[in-house]
Amino acid sequence: MGGRKRGDFPRTLPEFYRRFSNEEACLRYLVETRWPDGFRCPACGSDNSHLLTTRRVWQCRGCRKQTSATAGTILHRTRLPLTAWFSAAYLMTSHKPGISALQLQRQLGLASFGTTWALLHKLRRAMVNPDRRKLTGTVEVDETWVGGKQAGLKGGRQRLGRKALLVAVAVERGDKTLGRLRLEVIPAASQETLGDFVARNIEPGSTVVSDAWTGYEALDPNAYTHEAISQAAMKRQGLEPDAVPGVHRVISNLKTWLRGTHHGVGADHLDYYLNEFVFRFNRRFYPMAGFATLLDLGTVQPPTPIAEILSPLSPESKSRRKGRSTGLTTRRFLIPADPVAADQSPVNDPFSVRVNQSPSLEAARASLEAVLDDPGTLSPSPRCSTLMRSNE
């Protein structure tokens, strides 16, 4: 098999179903993506191998090691058909509002909601390119709370007792449209935290545009040109108080997507939903190419165990309470309940992070535990095997 050519991806849904109507077609595309220059043994590096067609694995003629196309990838040890994985990846990346686990389960005819939910989370973990470039040019930066409205809070900066999580946002400002985006959950809007976020995500020499929040005052003047715009001053001048309109547009789209497609998400998994939003936002002008990019990244990303997906911030924790977790119940950031203790708490250290000890999506957990006890529940319904052909 040769390597996959650049731009070789289905551009319409009928074309997708024609190209990937069976397991063999999916396997061939996956192999061409993972080994564009031909198969090489991961153990000895030899290119002298042969395919065992009955098991669909390559066996090295030198060291005799057997390797499958899915081994060591996000599809590692999957018992779902490749057609289900390919359909999920295509629908997830090409559909503008994304797709929820329940909707995907209905589309693919899978028997288990937990299996579908885990499949989507494995795909989300492959959506960050470890070698991605930093943002450049003029970049707008701001923060927002994700978690809904809450009564009894004073001002938008109060952290004490807040259930929502704080998310930092950075987006490139273009002449006619917005460029690339970065989103990240942060523990506080302090100078140390925001300075670290900017340094890791924005290329030195860029112009950083923000509001007049003091958290941005410590940006390195030798690395960035900082434009701090006071929204209060704009309001006094009779102008629309919007220092970073691009960021505010992104925040509005993000919250609409979380509420509309997923009807809210648990704080345990917010990071990975942010990864998905960034992935699709940065490819919004050519969403069909996201399918090929996701499969490409999926072949280089290590597999994620089910236990880590169920408890992403605390793999060692085995007890999980019912209910969707919030910024308070996750315990990922230590926020004291006593205002007096707040001054003596590690929360004032922006890098003081506690691991997550809370549950999320108890139904998915129960379903996945049932899957582990009964592997047969992983099999798709009879409709799944004919899904591809029925849509030609």
On whether the CB atoms of residues 232 and 212 are closer than 8 A, the answer is: yes
**Which long-range contacts (C-beta less than 8 Å, at least 24 apart) are formed by 299-308?**
299/30, 299/33, 299/34, 299/73, 300/73, 301/73, 301/74, 301/125, 301/126, 302/72, 303/72, 303/73, 303/74, 303/75, 303/76, 303/77, 303/122, 304/74, 304/121, 304/122, 304/125, 306/118, 306/368, 306/372
Work out the average pLDDT over 196-224. Answer: 95
More confident residue, 351 or 308: 308
The reply to whether 281 falls in a domain is: no
Among 29-43, 325-339, 346-360, the range with the most confident prediction by mean pLDDT is 29-43
Handedness of CA 327, 330, 331, 332 (dihedral sign): negative
State which of 263, 297, 319 marks the end of a domain. Answer: 263
Burial of 251 (0-12, 13-18, 19+ CB in 10 A): buried
The verdict on 245 and 324 lying in the same domain is no
Phi-psi region of 98 (alpha: psi -120 to 50; beta: other; left: phi over 0): left
Identify whether residues 210 and 321 lie together within a single domain.
no
Q: Is 167 inside any structural domain? A: yes
Give the pLDDT confidence score for residue 253 in this predicted structure. Answer: 96
Cα distance between residue 49 and residue 329, in whole Å: 52
Shared domain for 239 and 337, answered yes or no, is no
Please give the average per-residue pLDDT across 233-240, as a whole number.
Answer: 86
Query: What's the rounded Cα separation, in Å, for the pair 282 and 211?
Result: 24
Pick the most confident of 160-169, 183-192, 351-360.
183-192
Which helix or strand (DSSP H or E) is residue 117 part of? Answer: helix 113-124
Residue with tokens 């043994």: 41
Residue range 109-148, pLDDT digits in tens: 999 999 999 999 999 999 998 889 999 999 999 999 998 7
The residue type at 381:
S
337: CB partners within 8 A, 6+ apart: 160, 161
Nearest to 295 by CA among 120, 2, 73: 73
- pLDDT > 70 fraction of the chain, expressed in percent and rounded: 77
C-alpha span between 349 and 36 (Å, rounded): 47
DSSP element (H, E) containing 26: helix 23-34
In a domain, 91, yes or no: no
- 215 found inside a domain: yes
The SS3 call for residue 317 is: coil
Show the tokens assigned to 149: 């409205």
Based on the fold, state whether residues 316 and 259 are members of the same structural domain: no
User: What CATH number is associated with residue 232?
Assistant: 3.30.420
> Does 228 share its domain with 326?
no
One domain, residues 146 and 225: yes
Q: What is the mean pLDDT of residues 266-271?
A: 88
* 145 and 259 housed in the same domain: yes
Going by C-alpha positions, the residue among 373, 360, 122 that lies closest to residue 264 is 360
- Judge contact between 368 and 93, C-beta under 8 A: no
Strands, sheet with 57-60, edge to edge from the N-terminal-most edge strand: 49-52, 57-60, 66-68
- Write out pLDDT tens, residues 5-34: 666 788 899 999 999 999 999 998 888 888
Is residue 21 domain-resident? Answer: no
Residues 337 and 236 placed together within one structural domain of the fold: no
Cβ proximity of 240 and 234 under 8 Å = yes
Q: Is 195 inside any structural domain?
A: yes
Give the C-alpha distances (Å, rounded to integers) separating 272 from 46, 97, 265, 330, 380.
37, 16, 10, 15, 25
Whether 167 and 225 map to the same domain: the answer is yes
Q: Are residues 214 and 321 in the same domain?
A: no
- C-alpha 69: how far from chain center: 23
Contact in structure between 287 and 280 (CB atoms under 8 Å): yes
From the list 69, 94, 78, the residue with the least C-alpha distance to 17 is 94
Domain assignment present for 227? yes
How far is it, in rounded angstroms, from Cα 217 to Cα 135?
20
Does residue 164 belong to any structural domain of this protein?
A: yes
Whole-angstrom distance, CA of residue 211 vs CA of residue 230:
6
pLDDT, tens only, 66-116: 888 888 888 888 889 999 999 999 999 998 889 999 999 999 999 999 999
Are 257 and 318 within one domain?
no
Count of domains observed in the chain: 2
Spatial distance between the Cα atoms of 302 and 360, rounded to a whole number of angstroms:
23
Same domain flag for 235 and 336: no
pLDDT at 257 over 80: yes
Is the model more confident about 235 or about 229? 229
What is the Cβ-side half-sphere exposure of residue 292, based on CA atoms within 13 angstroms?
16
**Domain boundary residue among 263, 298, 326?**
263
State which residues form the domain around 215. Answer: 138-263
Asked whether residue 238 carries a pLDDT value surpassing 70, the answer given is: yes
- pLDDT, position 270: 92
